[in-house]
Protein backbone atom coordinates (compact mmCIF):
# COMPACT_ATOMS: atom_id res chain seq x y z
CA UNK A 1 0.00 0.00 0.00
CA UNK A 2 1.17 3.53 -0.66
CA UNK A 3 -0.30 6.98 -0.13
CA UNK A 4 -0.97 8.84 -3.39
CA UNK A 5 -2.38 12.18 -4.49
CA UNK A 6 -5.86 12.71 -5.86
CA UNK A 7 -8.24 12.46 -2.91
CA UNK A 8 -11.71 11.28 -3.90
CA UNK A 9 -10.75 11.52 -7.58
CA UNK A 10 -7.86 9.06 -7.28
CA UNK A 11 -9.87 5.88 -8.07
CA UNK A 12 -10.80 5.22 -11.71
CA UNK A 13 -14.02 6.82 -12.88
CA UNK A 14 -14.63 9.29 -10.05
CA UNK A 15 -15.01 13.02 -10.71
CA UNK A 16 -15.64 15.93 -8.38
CA UNK A 17 -16.49 19.62 -8.39
CA UNK A 18 -17.13 22.54 -6.04
CA UNK A 19 -19.03 25.79 -6.34
CA UNK A 20 -19.96 28.95 -4.47
CA UNK A 21 -23.74 28.87 -3.97
CA UNK A 22 -23.93 31.50 -1.18
CA UNK A 23 -26.08 29.25 1.01
CA UNK A 24 -24.80 30.79 4.25
CA UNK A 25 -21.13 31.60 3.80
CA UNK A 26 -19.87 34.45 1.63
CA UNK A 27 -16.82 34.47 -0.63
CA UNK A 28 -16.12 30.75 -0.38
CA UNK A 29 -17.30 27.51 -1.95
CA UNK A 30 -20.09 25.73 -0.09
CA UNK A 31 -21.31 22.92 -2.35
CA UNK A 32 -19.54 19.85 -3.72
CA UNK A 33 -20.38 16.90 -5.94
CA UNK A 34 -18.88 13.42 -6.30
CA UNK A 35 -19.76 11.58 -9.51
CA UNK A 36 -19.00 8.09 -10.81
CA UNK A 37 -18.79 7.58 -14.57
CA UNK A 38 -20.45 4.20 -14.11
CA UNK A 39 -23.12 3.35 -11.51
CA UNK A 40 -21.53 2.41 -8.19
CA UNK A 41 -22.68 0.23 -5.34
CA UNK A 42 -22.95 2.06 -2.05
CA UNK A 43 -22.91 1.49 1.68
CA UNK A 44 -23.53 3.92 4.49
CA UNK A 45 -23.55 4.25 8.26
CA UNK A 46 -25.40 7.10 9.90
CA UNK A 47 -26.04 9.00 13.11
CA UNK A 48 -27.63 7.21 16.04
CA UNK A 49 -29.19 10.49 17.16
CA UNK A 50 -32.98 10.06 17.30
CA UNK A 51 -33.28 13.44 15.56
CA UNK A 52 -32.10 12.74 12.00
CA UNK A 53 -31.68 15.29 9.23
CA UNK A 54 -33.57 14.98 5.96
CA UNK A 55 -30.53 13.90 3.92
CA UNK A 56 -29.81 11.07 6.38
CA UNK A 57 -33.34 9.71 5.93
CA UNK A 58 -33.06 10.14 2.16
CA UNK A 59 -29.69 8.39 1.89
CA UNK A 60 -30.53 5.44 4.13
CA UNK A 61 -33.36 4.38 1.85
CA UNK A 62 -30.96 4.32 -1.09
CA UNK A 63 -27.87 2.76 0.49
CA UNK A 64 -30.02 0.10 2.19
CA UNK A 65 -31.52 -0.85 -1.20
CA UNK A 66 -30.02 -2.54 -4.25
CA UNK A 67 -30.13 0.69 -6.28
CA UNK A 68 -26.79 1.84 -7.70
CA UNK A 69 -25.57 5.38 -7.07
CA UNK A 70 -24.37 7.93 -9.62
CA UNK A 71 -23.57 10.97 -7.49
CA UNK A 72 -23.44 12.60 -4.08
CA UNK A 73 -24.40 16.28 -3.64
CA UNK A 74 -23.13 18.00 -0.49
CA UNK A 75 -23.81 21.45 0.92
CA UNK A 76 -22.35 23.26 3.92
CA UNK A 77 -23.84 26.09 5.96
CA UNK A 78 -27.34 24.70 6.55
CA UNK A 79 -27.96 21.20 7.91
CA UNK A 80 -31.52 20.62 6.64
CA UNK A 81 -32.29 19.11 10.05
CA UNK A 82 -35.51 19.64 12.03
CA UNK A 83 -37.10 20.90 8.81
CA UNK A 84 -39.84 18.24 8.54
CA UNK A 85 -41.87 17.91 5.32
CA UNK A 86 -40.44 21.00 3.66
CA UNK A 87 -36.92 19.75 4.27
CA UNK A 88 -37.70 16.35 2.76
CA UNK A 89 -39.31 18.03 -0.23
CA UNK A 90 -36.09 19.97 -0.75
CA UNK A 91 -34.19 16.67 -0.70
CA UNK A 92 -36.46 15.39 -3.45
CA UNK A 93 -36.05 18.59 -5.49
CA UNK A 94 -32.27 18.52 -5.07
CA UNK A 95 -32.05 14.89 -6.22
CA UNK A 96 -34.39 15.56 -9.13
CA UNK A 97 -32.29 18.51 -10.28
CA UNK A 98 -29.04 16.53 -10.04
CA UNK A 99 -30.57 13.56 -11.87
CA UNK A 100 -31.77 15.85 -14.65
CA UNK A 101 -28.36 17.49 -15.04
CA UNK A 102 -26.46 14.18 -14.98
CA UNK A 103 -28.86 12.04 -17.01
CA UNK A 104 -29.44 9.75 -14.04
CA UNK A 105 -32.33 8.49 -11.93
CA UNK A 106 -33.57 10.50 -8.95
CA UNK A 107 -33.03 7.60 -6.57
CA UNK A 108 -29.38 7.28 -7.65
CA UNK A 109 -28.48 10.63 -6.08
CA UNK A 110 -27.27 10.78 -2.47
CA UNK A 111 -27.38 14.01 -0.47
CA UNK A 112 -25.54 15.40 2.53
CA UNK A 113 -25.87 18.67 4.43
CA UNK A 114 -23.95 20.23 7.30
CA UNK A 115 -24.32 23.47 9.22
CA UNK A 116 -26.99 25.22 11.26
CA UNK A 117 -29.93 23.10 12.45
CA UNK A 118 -33.50 24.34 11.97
CA UNK A 119 -33.07 26.51 8.87
CA UNK A 120 -34.68 25.60 5.55
CA UNK A 121 -32.44 25.24 2.53
CA UNK A 122 -32.61 28.07 -0.04
CA UNK A 123 -33.67 25.63 -2.73
CA UNK A 124 -33.20 28.05 -5.63
CA UNK A 125 -29.54 28.51 -4.64
CA UNK A 126 -29.15 24.76 -4.14
CA UNK A 127 -30.50 23.99 -7.61
CA UNK A 128 -28.33 26.68 -9.21
CA UNK A 129 -25.37 25.19 -7.36
CA UNK A 130 -26.18 21.69 -8.62
CA UNK A 131 -26.24 22.98 -12.20
CA UNK A 132 -22.85 24.60 -11.71
CA UNK A 133 -21.43 21.45 -10.09
CA UNK A 134 -22.70 19.20 -12.87
CA UNK A 135 -21.08 21.37 -15.53
CA UNK A 136 -17.67 21.56 -13.87
CA UNK A 137 -16.93 17.94 -12.93
CA UNK A 138 -13.30 16.88 -13.31
CA UNK A 139 -11.16 13.89 -12.44
CA UNK A 140 -8.21 15.78 -11.01
CA UNK A 141 -6.35 16.37 -7.78
CA UNK A 142 -7.46 20.01 -7.84
CA UNK A 143 -11.14 19.05 -8.15
CA UNK A 144 -10.80 16.69 -5.18
CA UNK A 145 -9.04 19.38 -3.13
CA UNK A 146 -11.73 21.96 -3.89
CA UNK A 147 -14.53 19.52 -3.02
CA UNK A 148 -12.90 18.80 0.35
CA UNK A 149 -12.70 22.53 1.08
CA UNK A 150 -16.31 23.21 0.05
CA UNK A 151 -17.82 20.89 2.68
CA UNK A 152 -16.02 22.55 5.62
CA UNK A 153 -17.90 24.48 8.32
CA UNK A 154 -15.81 25.38 11.39
CA UNK A 155 -13.00 23.12 10.15
CA UNK A 156 -9.69 24.94 9.89
CA UNK A 157 -8.21 22.54 7.33
CA UNK A 158 -9.63 20.27 4.63
CA UNK A 159 -9.34 16.55 5.27
CA UNK A 160 -8.58 14.07 2.50
CA UNK A 161 -6.44 11.08 1.67
CA UNK A 162 -5.87 8.59 -1.16
CA UNK A 163 -4.06 5.27 -1.35
CA UNK A 164 -3.40 2.45 -3.81
CA UNK A 165 -2.90 -1.24 -3.17
CA UNK A 166 -3.10 -4.59 -4.97
CA UNK A 167 -5.92 -7.12 -5.02
CA UNK A 168 -5.75 -10.20 -7.27
CA UNK A 169 -2.90 -8.66 -9.22
CA UNK A 170 -4.88 -5.51 -9.98
CA UNK A 171 -4.14 -2.00 -8.73
CA UNK A 172 -7.00 -0.74 -6.56
CA UNK A 173 -7.33 2.86 -5.43
CA UNK A 174 -9.27 4.40 -2.58
CA UNK A 175 -9.86 8.10 -1.94
CA UNK A 176 -11.68 9.90 0.83
CA UNK A 177 -12.64 13.27 2.25
CA UNK A 178 -14.47 14.30 5.39
CA UNK A 179 -15.44 17.27 7.47
CA UNK A 180 -15.84 17.53 11.20
CA UNK A 181 -14.69 19.90 13.90
CA UNK A 182 -17.51 20.38 16.42
CA UNK A 183 -20.53 18.31 17.47
CA UNK A 184 -18.21 15.31 17.34
CA UNK A 185 -18.80 12.34 19.64
CA UNK A 186 -18.58 8.54 19.34
CA UNK A 187 -21.72 6.87 18.11
CA UNK A 188 -21.42 6.56 14.38
CA UNK A 189 -20.18 8.37 12.91
CA UNK A 190 -19.43 11.86 14.13
CA UNK A 191 -19.13 13.78 10.83
CA UNK A 192 -19.66 13.74 7.09
CA UNK A 193 -17.31 11.34 5.34
CA UNK A 194 -17.13 10.13 1.75
CA UNK A 195 -15.00 7.28 0.43
CA UNK A 196 -14.56 6.33 -3.22
CA UNK A 197 -12.94 3.16 -4.51
CA UNK A 198 -12.70 1.34 -7.83
CA UNK A 199 -12.60 -2.08 -6.18
CA UNK A 200 -14.97 -4.79 -7.44
CA UNK A 201 -16.77 -6.12 -4.36
CA UNK A 202 -20.24 -7.33 -3.41
CA UNK A 203 -22.56 -4.83 -1.78
CA UNK A 204 -22.99 -7.16 1.19
CA UNK A 205 -19.26 -7.24 1.94
CA UNK A 206 -18.85 -3.51 1.28
CA UNK A 207 -21.43 -2.76 3.97
CA UNK A 208 -19.99 -5.33 6.36
CA UNK A 209 -16.50 -3.91 5.99
CA UNK A 210 -17.72 -0.37 6.67
CA UNK A 211 -19.84 -1.32 9.68
CA UNK A 212 -17.10 -3.42 11.23
CA UNK A 213 -14.53 -0.70 10.67
CA UNK A 214 -16.27 2.31 12.25
CA UNK A 215 -16.41 0.60 15.64
CA UNK A 216 -12.67 1.15 16.07
CA UNK A 217 -12.22 4.33 14.01
CA UNK A 218 -14.90 7.01 13.74
CA UNK A 219 -16.79 5.71 16.76
CA UNK A 220 -13.64 6.25 18.82
CA UNK A 221 -13.48 9.99 18.09
CA UNK A 222 -14.80 12.69 20.40
CA UNK A 223 -14.34 16.46 20.38
CA UNK A 224 -17.17 17.73 22.55
CA UNK A 225 -19.60 14.95 23.50
CA UNK A 226 -22.36 16.01 21.08
CA UNK A 227 -23.65 13.52 18.50
CA UNK A 228 -24.80 15.31 15.35
CA UNK A 229 -28.15 15.00 13.58
CA UNK A 230 -26.39 14.70 10.22
CA UNK A 231 -23.57 12.18 10.76
CA UNK A 232 -23.01 10.12 7.62
CA UNK A 233 -20.21 7.97 6.29
CA UNK A 234 -20.76 6.79 2.72
CA UNK A 235 -18.60 4.60 0.49
CA UNK A 236 -19.02 4.15 -3.27
CA UNK A 237 -17.39 1.29 -5.20
CA UNK A 238 -17.64 1.27 -9.01
CA UNK A 239 -15.63 -1.87 -9.84
CA UNK A 240 -13.41 -0.22 -12.47
CA UNK A 241 -10.22 -1.70 -10.98
CA UNK A 242 -11.43 -4.89 -12.69
CA UNK A 243 -10.21 -7.21 -9.94
CA UNK A 244 -11.98 -10.52 -9.50
CA UNK A 245 -15.13 -9.65 -7.55
CA UNK A 246 -14.72 -10.03 -3.79
CA UNK A 247 -17.59 -12.18 -2.54
CA UNK A 248 -16.01 -14.35 0.15
CA UNK A 249 -15.68 -12.91 3.65
CA UNK A 250 -12.86 -15.33 4.52
CA UNK A 251 -10.82 -14.58 1.40
CA UNK A 252 -7.41 -12.92 1.49
CA UNK A 253 -8.71 -10.28 -0.94
CA UNK A 254 -11.41 -9.20 1.51
CA UNK A 255 -8.87 -9.00 4.34
CA UNK A 256 -6.63 -6.79 2.19
CA UNK A 257 -9.57 -4.52 1.36
CA UNK A 258 -10.58 -4.23 5.02
CA UNK A 259 -7.03 -3.46 6.10
CA UNK A 260 -6.71 -0.63 3.60
CA UNK A 261 -10.15 0.74 4.44
CA UNK A 262 -9.05 0.83 8.07
CA UNK A 263 -5.91 2.77 7.14
CA UNK A 264 -8.03 5.42 5.42
CA UNK A 265 -10.66 5.73 8.15
CA UNK A 266 -8.06 5.82 10.92
CA UNK A 267 -6.24 8.64 9.14
CA UNK A 268 -9.47 10.62 8.73
CA UNK A 269 -10.46 10.00 12.36
CA UNK A 270 -7.20 11.48 13.57
CA UNK A 271 -7.59 14.46 11.22
CA UNK A 272 -11.02 15.20 12.68
CA UNK A 273 -9.88 14.86 16.28
CA UNK A 274 -6.83 17.05 15.71
CA UNK A 275 -8.97 19.75 14.09
CA UNK A 276 -11.56 19.93 16.86
CA UNK A 277 -13.02 23.38 17.32
CA UNK A 278 -10.43 25.59 18.98
CA UNK A 279 -8.05 22.66 19.46
CA UNK A 280 -4.30 23.06 19.82
CA UNK A 281 -3.46 19.36 20.18
CA UNK A 282 -4.57 15.90 19.10
CA UNK A 283 -5.17 13.80 22.22
CA UNK A 284 -4.86 10.03 21.75
CA UNK A 285 -5.76 7.55 24.47
CA UNK A 286 -4.48 3.98 24.17
CA UNK A 287 -5.70 1.28 26.53
CA UNK A 288 -3.74 -1.99 26.51
CA UNK A 289 -4.01 -5.23 28.47
CA UNK A 290 -7.79 -5.26 28.85
CA UNK A 291 -9.81 -8.45 29.38
CA UNK A 292 -12.10 -7.67 26.40
CA UNK A 293 -12.08 -5.40 23.37
CA UNK A 294 -15.23 -3.65 24.58
CA UNK A 295 -13.63 -2.91 27.96
CA UNK A 296 -10.66 -1.32 26.22
CA UNK A 297 -12.93 0.78 23.99
CA UNK A 298 -15.10 1.97 26.86
CA UNK A 299 -12.14 2.96 29.02
CA UNK A 300 -10.37 4.79 26.19
CA UNK A 301 -13.53 6.72 25.28
CA UNK A 302 -14.17 7.60 28.91
CA UNK A 303 -10.79 9.32 29.15
CA UNK A 304 -10.90 11.04 25.77
CA UNK A 305 -14.33 12.54 26.54
CA UNK A 306 -13.39 13.85 30.00
CA UNK A 307 -13.64 17.65 29.93
CA UNK A 308 -11.32 17.96 32.92
CA UNK A 309 -8.69 15.80 31.24
CA UNK A 310 -9.02 17.70 27.96
CA UNK A 311 -8.57 20.99 29.82
CA UNK A 312 -5.45 19.64 31.50
CA UNK A 313 -4.02 18.67 28.11
CA UNK A 314 -4.59 22.25 26.93
CA UNK A 315 -2.69 23.53 29.96
CA UNK A 316 0.13 20.95 29.49
CA UNK A 317 -0.67 19.84 33.03
CA UNK A 318 0.12 16.20 33.91
CA UNK A 319 -2.96 15.99 36.13
CA UNK A 320 -3.06 12.21 36.05
CA UNK A 321 -5.78 12.00 38.72
CA UNK A 322 -8.32 13.15 36.15
CA UNK A 323 -7.47 10.19 33.94
CA UNK A 324 -7.79 7.74 36.84
CA UNK A 325 -11.10 9.36 37.70
CA UNK A 326 -12.40 8.98 34.13
CA UNK A 327 -11.32 5.34 34.03
CA UNK A 328 -13.06 4.74 37.34
CA UNK A 329 -16.47 6.08 36.36
CA UNK A 330 -16.48 4.32 32.97
CA UNK A 331 -18.49 1.41 34.33
CA UNK A 332 -15.76 -1.10 33.45
CA UNK A 333 -13.90 -3.12 36.07
CA UNK A 334 -10.11 -2.97 36.38
CA UNK A 335 -7.54 -3.00 39.17
CA UNK A 336 -6.10 0.50 39.81
CA UNK A 337 -3.41 -1.11 41.99
CA UNK A 338 -2.11 -3.19 39.07
CA UNK A 339 -1.91 -0.74 36.19
CA UNK A 340 0.43 1.82 34.65
CA UNK A 341 -0.12 5.24 33.09
CA UNK A 342 2.29 6.97 30.70
CA UNK A 343 2.30 10.25 28.78
CA UNK A 344 4.16 10.32 25.48
CA UNK A 345 4.70 12.49 22.40
CA UNK A 346 7.47 13.41 20.01
CA UNK A 347 9.08 15.10 23.03
CA UNK A 348 9.50 11.84 24.94
CA UNK A 349 7.73 9.33 27.17
CA UNK A 350 7.26 9.33 30.94
CA UNK A 351 5.79 6.91 33.47
CA UNK A 352 3.30 8.76 35.67
CA UNK A 353 1.48 6.18 37.77
CA UNK A 354 2.09 2.54 38.70
CA UNK A 355 0.59 0.03 41.11
CA UNK A 356 -1.79 2.44 42.80
CA UNK A 357 0.45 5.50 43.32
CA UNK A 358 2.25 8.29 41.48
CA UNK A 359 5.87 7.39 40.71
CA UNK A 360 7.13 10.86 41.59
CA UNK A 361 7.76 11.95 38.01
CA UNK A 362 9.52 15.08 36.71
CA UNK A 363 6.74 17.67 36.28
CA UNK A 364 8.79 19.82 33.92
CA UNK A 365 9.54 16.88 31.63
CA UNK A 366 5.88 15.82 31.69
CA UNK A 367 4.75 19.34 30.76
CA UNK A 368 7.19 19.39 27.84
CA UNK A 369 5.80 16.07 26.59
CA UNK A 370 2.26 17.44 26.82
CA UNK A 371 3.18 20.60 24.90
CA UNK A 372 3.46 18.71 21.58
CA UNK A 373 0.85 18.91 18.81
CA UNK A 374 0.05 15.21 19.26
CA UNK A 375 -0.15 13.80 22.79
CA UNK A 376 -0.82 10.23 23.93
CA UNK A 377 -1.97 8.80 27.24
CA UNK A 378 -1.04 5.11 27.45
CA UNK A 379 -2.93 2.98 29.97
CA UNK A 380 -1.62 -0.52 30.66
CA UNK A 381 -4.16 -2.56 32.61
CA UNK A 382 -2.15 -5.81 32.78
CA UNK A 383 -5.32 -7.89 32.79
CA UNK A 384 -5.59 -9.37 29.29
CA UNK A 385 -4.64 -9.13 25.63
CA UNK A 386 -7.08 -6.58 24.22
CA UNK A 387 -6.42 -2.97 23.25
CA UNK A 388 -8.26 0.05 21.84
CA UNK A 389 -7.45 3.61 20.82
CA UNK A 390 -9.62 6.72 21.06
CA UNK A 391 -8.94 10.16 19.62
CA UNK A 392 -9.94 13.61 20.80
CA UNK A 393 -8.42 17.02 21.40
CA UNK A 394 -7.76 19.52 24.15
CA UNK A 395 -10.51 21.82 25.44
CA UNK A 396 -9.65 25.47 24.89
CA UNK A 397 -11.03 28.97 25.35
CA UNK A 398 -11.62 29.16 21.59
CA UNK A 399 -14.03 26.21 21.68
CA UNK A 400 -16.39 28.28 23.81
CA UNK A 401 -15.93 31.37 21.62
CA UNK A 402 -16.75 29.46 18.43
CA UNK A 403 -19.88 27.81 19.82
CA UNK A 404 -21.20 30.82 21.71
CA UNK A 405 -21.85 32.52 18.37
CA UNK A 406 -22.15 29.66 15.87
CA UNK A 407 -25.27 30.89 14.04
CA UNK A 408 -23.81 34.28 13.11
Number of domains in the chain: 2
Catalytic option among 63, 114, 153, 190: 190
pLDDT band at 232 (very low <50, low <70, confident <90, very high): confident
Convert the pLDDT of each residue in 16-73 to its tens digit.
999 999 998 889 999 999 999 999 999 999 987 788 889 999 999 999 999 999 999 9
Which residue among 241, 274, 307 closes a domain?
Answer: 274
What lies within 8 Å, CB to CB, of 253 at 6+ separation is: 167, 168, 243, 244, 246
Domain span at 28: 2-274
What is the percentage of the chain residues whose pLDDT exceeds 90? 75
74 plus 23 within the same structural domain = yes
Residues 166 and 221 in one domain: yes
Q: What is the mean pLDDT of residues 333-346?
A: 97
Q: What is the average pLDDT value for the chain, to the nearest integer?
A: 91
pTM given for the model: 0.85
- Does one domain contain both 186 and 75? yes
The Cα 188–Cα 327 span in angstroms is 22
Residues 254 and 165 occupy one common structural domain: yes
Cα–Cα distance between 398 and 131 in angstroms, integer?
A: 37
Average pLDDT on 180-194 reads: 58
| pLDDT at residue 178, as a whole number | 92
Is the per-residue pLDDT at 181 higher than 70? Answer: no
Tens-place pLDDT, residues 66-97: 999 999 999 998 989 888 899 999 999 999 99
Same domain, residue pair 246 and 334? no
Residue 242 and residue 337 in one domain: no
**Between 154 and 359, where is the model more confident?**
359
Pick the last residue of a domain from 209, 242, 274.
Answer: 274
| Residue 316 zone, left/alpha/beta (φ > 0; ψ -120 to 50; rest) | left
Q: Which of 244, 274, 304 is the last residue of a domain?
A: 274
**Does the pLDDT at position 190 exceed 50?**
no
* pLDDT per position as a tens digit, 192-204: 999 999 999 999 9
- Active-site residue flag, 83: no
Amino acid sequence: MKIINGGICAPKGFLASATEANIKYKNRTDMAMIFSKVPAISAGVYTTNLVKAGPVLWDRKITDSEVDVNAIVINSGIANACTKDEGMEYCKQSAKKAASELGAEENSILLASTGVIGMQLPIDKICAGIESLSNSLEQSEKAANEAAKAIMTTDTVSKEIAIEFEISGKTVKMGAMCKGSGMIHPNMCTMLGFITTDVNISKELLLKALRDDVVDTFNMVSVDGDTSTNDSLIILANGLADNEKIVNESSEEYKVFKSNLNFVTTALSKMIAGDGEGATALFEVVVEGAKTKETARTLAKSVVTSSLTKAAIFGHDANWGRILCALGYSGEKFDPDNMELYFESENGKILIYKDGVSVGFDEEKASKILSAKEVRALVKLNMGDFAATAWGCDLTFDYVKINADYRS
